[in-house]
Structure 1
Amino acid sequence: MRKFIVSSIALMVSTCLYAQDETQSNTAVVDTPAPMETITVTSVRQRLEQAGTLANTIVKTEVVSALTIENKNAVNLTEAIDNSPGVKVSNECSMCGVKRIMLNGMKGEQTTILVDGLPVHTMVSGYYAVDAIPTTGVVRIEVARGAGASLIAPEAIGGVINIVSYDPTDSGAVVDLSIGEDGYRKLGFLGKGVSEDGATRATLIGQYDDRDQYDGDHNLVNEQPSQQNRSLTARLSHDIGAFDNLVLRYSNINSEVFGGPMLGATFADGRANSIGSVLRAYANNPSENIDLFENGDVNQNFTGNAWETTEWINTKRNEASVAWLKEWNSTLNSHLAVSYADHSQDSFYEGFDYVNDDKMWFYDARFNFAVSDEHLLTFGVDYRTEEMRSHSVAGAANPDYVADSFDYHVAGAYLQDTWQALDELEISMAVRADKVQADFVDPQKPGTELDETIVSPRIDMRYHHNAQWTSRLSAGRGYRAPLSFFETDHGILDGSLGFEIDINALERSKSVNYSLSYEGERLTSTASIAWTEVANLAALTTNEHGTPLLHQMDDKASSITSDISLGYRLLDDLTLNLTLENFNYNATFKHSYAIAPVEQRVSFNLDWDIGGWDFYASAVWIGSRDLSEYGYEGYDRLLSSNQADPSSKKSTDAPAYFTLDVKATYAINDTMSVYFGASNLLDYTQVDKSESPLFFDANGNFDVAYIYGPLRGREAYVGLKLEF
Structure 2
Amino acid sequence: MYHFVNLSVQPVKPRKHFFQLKFSAVFFFSLLSLFSHAQNTLSVRVKSEAGKQPLPGASVTVSPLNKGTSTDSTGLAVLTGLPDGAFQVEISFVGYSAVQKRLTLPVTKIIEVELEEAEGEDNPNIIVTATRTDRSIRNTPTRVEVIAGGEISENVSMRPGEIKMLLNETTGLITQQTSAVSNTANLRIQELEGRYTQVLRDGFPLYSGLSEGLSLVQIAPLDLKQVEIIKGSSSTLFGGGAIAGLINLVSKTPTEKRDLSFLANATSAGGFDLSGFYGQRFKNIGVTVFGSRNSGKAYDPSSTGFTAIPKFERYTITPRLFYYGNKTNLNAGVNFITEERLGGNMDYIKNNNAGYFEKNNSVRFTTQVGITHQINTHVSLNFKNSYNHFGRLTTIPSYQFDGLQQSSFSELSINAGENNLQWVGGVNLYTDKFSEVLHSNHPLRNYNYNTVGSFVQNTWSPTDKFSLESGLRGDYTSPYGFVLLPRVSALFRFSNRFTSRIGGGLGYKLPTIFTEESEERQFQNILPIDQNSAQYEKSIGANVDFTYSTSLDELKLSINPLFFYTRINHPLVLSSQGMQKAFVNVDGYTDSKGMDLSFRLTLDDIKFYTGYSYTIAQNHFGGQTATYPLAPKHKLHFDLVYEVDGSLRIALETYYTSQQQLADGSTGRSYWLTGALIEKSWKHFSLFINGEDLNNVKQTDWGAIYSGPITIPRFKDLYAPLEGRIINGGVKIKL
Band of TM-score, shorter chain:
0.7 to 0.9
TM-superposed CA distance for 1:422, in Å, is: 3.0
| 1:67-82 superposed matches below 5 A | 67-72=150-155, 73-75=158-160, 76-82=162-168
Deviation at 1:141, TM superposition (A): 0.8
- How far the C-alpha of 1:553 sits from its partner, in A, is 1.8
What is aligned with 2:718?
A: 707
Question: Which of 545, 551, 565 matches 2:598?
Answer: 565
For CA contacts below 8 A with separation 6 or more, give which structure has more relative contact order. Answer: 1
Q: Determine helix, strand or coil for the equivalent of 2:150.
A: helix
Greater mean deviation of Cα atoms: 701-710 or 76-85? 701-710
Partner of residue 706 from structure 2, selected from 673, 676, 694 = 694
Range with bigger deviation, 160-169 or 606-615: 606-615
Helix, strand or coil at the partner of 2:210: coil
DSSP 3-state at the match of 2:237: coil
1:238 matches 2:270: no
Contact 1:209–1:230 (Cα < 8 Å) also in 2: yes
Q: Which moved more, 1:700-709 or 1:597-606?
A: 700-709
When the two chains are superposed, the root-mean-square deviation of aligned CA atoms in Å is 2.9
Cα pair distance change 1:38/1:609, threshold 3 Å: farther
Structure-2 residue corresponding to 1:346: 393
Equivalent residue for 1:553?
586
Per the TM alignment, residue 467 of structure 1 is displaced from its structure 2 partner at its CA by: 0.9
Query: Whose strand proportion is higher, 1 or 2?
Result: 2
* 1:315/1:344 contact within 8 Å kept: yes
Give, in angstroms, the shift of residue 182 of structure 1. Answer: 1.0
Q: Return the letter of the residue paired with 1:584.
A: I
Q: Is 1:25–2:95 an aligned residue pair?
A: yes
Q: Which residue of 2 aligns with 1:677?
A: 690
Tell whether the 8 Å contact from 2:691 to 2:727 is kept in structure 1 after alignment: yes
Letter in 1 for 2:248: N
Q: Aligned to 1:328, what secondary structure does the other structure show?
A: strand
C-alpha contact (below 8 Å) 1:92/1:595 kept by paired residues: no
The CA distance in 2 between the partners of 1:47 and 1:466, in whole Å, is 20
1:216 Cα deviation (Å)? 3.1
Q: What is the match of residue 226 of structure 1?
A: 311
Q: How many angstroms does 1:53 deviate by? A: 5.3
In 2, the alpha carbon distance for the partners of 1:501 and 1:240 equals 50
Counterpart AA for 1:710: P
Measured after TM superposition, the shift of residue 536 of structure 1 is 2.1
Deviations, residues 469-513 of structure 1 (Å, cap 9, x unaligned): 111111000111121254534575473586674751000000001
Per the TM alignment, residue 392 of structure 1 is displaced from its structure 2 partner at its CA by 3.4
Deviation at residue 134 of structure 1 after TM alignment: 1.2
Unaligned runs of 5+ in 2: 1-91, 100-109, 118-124
What is residue 384 of structure 1 aligned with on the other side? Answer: 430
Residue 123 of structure 1 deviates from its aligned partner by: 2.1
Residue 146 of structure 2 is aligned to residue 63 of structure 1: yes
Residue in 2 aligned with 1:479?
508
CA shift for structure 1 position 594: 9.2
User: Who is 1:431 aligned against?
Assistant: 472
**What residue is the counterpart of 1:637 in the other structure?**
none
Asked if the contact 2:236–2:507 (Cα under 8 Å) also holds between the matched residues in 1, the reply is no
Cα 1:87–1:41 shift into 2, 3 Å: closer
Match 1:112 to one of 184, 198, 207: 198
Query: In the aligned structure 1, how far is the partner of 2:343 from the partner of 2:126?
Result: 49
The alpha-carbon deviation at position 210 of structure 1 amounts to 2.0
Instruction: For residue 109 of structure 1, give the secondary structure of its aligned residue in structure 2.
Output: helix
CA displacement 1:206-234 (0-9 Å, x = unmatched):
12222333323313222342333221111
Between the two proteins, what is the percent identity of the paired residues?
Answer: 17
Contact 2:485 2:506 in 1 (8 A): yes
Amino acid at match of 1:79: M
Q: Please state whether the residue corresponding to 1:524 is helix, strand or coil.
A: strand
Q: Give, as a single letter, the amino acid of the residue that structure 2 aligns with 1:385.
A: T
For 1:72-119, what per-residue CA distance to the aligned partner results, in whole angstroms no more than 9, with x for missing partners?
A: 323312221113011110012202322110112221011111111112
Residues 151-208 of structure 1: per-residue CA shift (max 9 Å, x gap): 123431111110111113222410111112111211110112221x3x3221110122
For 2:630, what is the secondary structure of its paired residue? coil
Q: Paired residue for 1:539? A: 573
Alignment deviations for residues 523-574 of structure 1 (CA, whole Å, 9 cap, x no partner): 101100110000121121211x2211222221111111311100011x3000
Alpha-carbon contact 1:93-1:705 (below 8 Å) kept = no
Deviation at 1:620, TM superposition (A): 0.5
Change (3 A) 1:704 1:388: same
Give secondary structure in 2 for the equivalent of 1:81.
helix
Taking a change above 3 Å as real, the CA distance of residues 423 and 128 of structure 1, as seen in their structure-2 partners, is same
Please tell me whether residue 615 in structure 1 is matched to residue 617 in structure 2.
no
- Residue 249 (structure 1) aligns with: 333
> Which residue of structure 2 aligns with residue 443 of structure 1?
none
Corresponding position: 1:510 with 2:510:
no
1:69 and 1:144 map into 2 onto residues whose CA distance is: 18
CA contact (8 A) 2:540 2:568 kept: yes
- Secondary structure in 1 matching 2:704: coil
Matched, 1:654 2:686: no
Letter in 2 for 1:407: N
1:554-593 matched pairs, under 5 angstroms: 554-569=587-602, 571-588=603-620
Paired position in structure 2 for 1:91: 177
| Cα 1:352–1:462 shift into 2, 3 Å | same
SS at match of 1:125: helix
Amino acid at match of 1:536: H
Instruction: Look up the SS of the partner of 2:153 in the other structure.
Output: helix
How far apart, in 2, do the equivalents of 1:475 and 1:381 lie?
A: 22
Q: Deviations over 1:279-298 (max 9, x none)?
A: xxxxxxxxxxxxxxxxxxxx
User: What are the superposed Cα offsets for residues 691-712 of structure 1, whole Å, 9 maximum, x if unpaired?
Assistant: 1211249xx9841133221111
Cα separation, 1, equivalents of 2:309 and 2:374 = 50
Q: State the Cα deviation string for residues 632-668 of structure 1 (Å, max 9, x = none).
A: 26xxxxxxxxxxxxxxxxxx2322111111100111x
With normalisation by structure 2, the TM-score equals: 0.78
- State the alpha-carbon separation in 2 of the partners of residues 203 and 677 from structure 1: 28
Q: How big is each residue's C-alpha offset from its partner over 1:119-160, in whole Å with a ceiling of 9 and x where there is no partner?
A: 222422112232101112111111111112661234311111
SS at match of 1:58: coil
CA distance in 1, matches of 2:239, 2:698: 37
1:599 is matched with 633
**Paired residues, what number?**
609
Amino acid corresponding to residue 683 of structure 2 in structure 1: D
Offset at residue 717 of structure 1 (A): 1.3
Contact 1:428–1:459, Cα closer than 8 Å, also in 2: yes
Question: What secondary structure is seen at the aligned counterpart in 1 of 2:540?
Answer: strand
Distance 1:420 1:581 in 2: 32
